[in-house]
């Protein structure tokens, strides 16, 4: 009987730790590397530490890639998307950021329709520190779009991740792919 009380107390303590800590505040791992199991990333998680099969951190840094949903532009009948970055654990002060918009086709393909790039972008986001991609619409029929953002920190080895967001937008481009 004593053993079951100890086990129950252990489960209760674990449940308290898991429910008392908001997911966004879990910057410090709750468990050790050896005891971690696969799971879902916290909502809004960006960046992270990449390891090899033995748990050693891979060479390079991990910038935080910022990406917004594709949306109708406020400057006319166009679809647009933006990309930006934050340093994460990188030390570089600039990055090459590329933002590309892809339109969904009924054959299951995503076709690139527009890209924007800045090779000297400072971290931070906002209207000054982001890269836009924009394409004029041929019609306002609802269509699925993806906004892909790739961040490469200048003069530093980085993780090379590409993030994207997807949304249905009242914009259809019947013209050529880019």
Residues 43-64 have pLDDT tens digits of 766 666 777 777 777 778 889 9
| pTM of the complete model beyond 0.85 | no
Q: Could you report the per-residue pLDDT of 15-27, keeping only the tens digit for each?
A: 433 444 343 344 4
Q: Could you report the per-residue pLDDT of 86-106, keeping only the tens digit for each?
A: 999 999 999 999 999 999 999
Q: What is the pLDDT of residue 47?
A: 62
Q: Per-residue confidence at 9, pLDDT binned at 50, 70, 90?
A: very low
3-state secondary structure of 155: coil
Q: What is the pLDDT of residue 2?
A: 43
Averaged over 135-150, what is the pLDDT?
95
How far apart are the C-alpha atoms of 32 and 34, rounded to whole Å? 5
Q: What is the pLDDT of residue 21?
A: 39
- Asked if residues 151 and 65 have their Cβ atoms less than 8 Å apart, the reply is yes
Averaged over 111-139, what is the pLDDT?
93
- Asked if residues 139 and 172 have their Cβ atoms less than 8 Å apart, the reply is yes
Q: Is the pLDDT of residue 174 over 60?
A: yes
The dihedrals phi and psi of 15, each to the nearest 5 degrees, come to: -60, -40
Q: What is the pLDDT of residue 39?
A: 77
Return the percentage of the chain with pLDDT > 70, whole number: 78
Q: Per-residue confidence at 84, pLDDT binned at 50, 70, 90?
A: very high
What radius of gyration do the chain's Cα atoms show?
21
Averaged over 105-118, what is the pLDDT?
94
Strands of the chain (E only): list them. 64-67, 71-72, 78-86, 95-104, 110-121, 131-136, 139-153, 162-172
Q: Per-residue confidence at 28, pLDDT binned at 50, 70, 90?
A: low
Average pLDDT over the chain, rounded to an integer: 81
């Amino acid at each position: 009987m004593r053993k079951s009380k100890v086990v129950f107390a252990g489960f209760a303590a674990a449940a308290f730790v898991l429910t008392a800590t908001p997911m966004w505040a879990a910057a410090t791992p709750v468990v050790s590397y050896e005891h971690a199991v696969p799971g879902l990333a916290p909502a809004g998680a960006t960046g992270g530490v990449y390891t090899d099969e033995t748990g050693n951190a891979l060479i390079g840094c991990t910038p935080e890639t910022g990406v917004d949903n594709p949306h109708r532009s406020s400057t006319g009948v166009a679809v647009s998307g933006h990309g930006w970055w934050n340093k994460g654990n990188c030390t570089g002060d600039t990055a090459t950021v590329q933002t590309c918009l892809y339109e969904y086709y009924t054959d299951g393909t995503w076709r690139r329709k527009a890209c924007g790039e800045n090779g000297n972008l400072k971290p931070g986001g906002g209207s000054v520190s982001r890269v836009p991609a924009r394409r004029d619409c041929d019609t306002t029929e609802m269509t699925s779009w993806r906004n892909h953002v790739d961040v490469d920190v200048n003069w530093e080895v980085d993780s090379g991740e590409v993030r994207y967001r997807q949304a249905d937008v009242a914009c259809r481009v019947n013209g050529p792919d880019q």
